[in-house]
Amino acid sequence: MRFDMVCEANGIEHRLTKPNHPWTHGQAERMNRTTKDARVKRFHYDNHDLLRTHLGDLMAACNFGRRLKTLGGLSP
């Protein structure tokens, strides 16, 4: 409920995919894999704050640094 309220307050459409059908949300799955490969599996974090900082930097780079063909050049 809270997630939906935050989405609505920020003008974000929250869509769900069918359960047990990961191929229907391949974009998100690919982003999860990219995140793990780029940060989580390559670095050792002494605490959660360091991990949060790195993940924040990665999300900013993915959202604003490159444009995706599948989204018509828009950020995710």
More confident residue, 40 or 5: 5
* 34 residue type, one letter: T
Has residue 25 got a pLDDT over 80? no
User: How far apart are the C-alpha atoms of 14 and 4, rounded to whole Å?
Assistant: 7
Helix 48-64 with 26-35: angle, nearest 10 deg: 130
Has residue 8 got a pLDDT over 60? yes
Has residue 24 got a pLDDT over 80? no
Task: Residue count of the chain, please give it.
Answer: 76
pLDDT of amino acid 30: 79
Has residue 73 got a pLDDT over 80? no
Distance of CA 19 to the CA centre of its chain: 19
Has residue 53 got a pLDDT over 60? yes
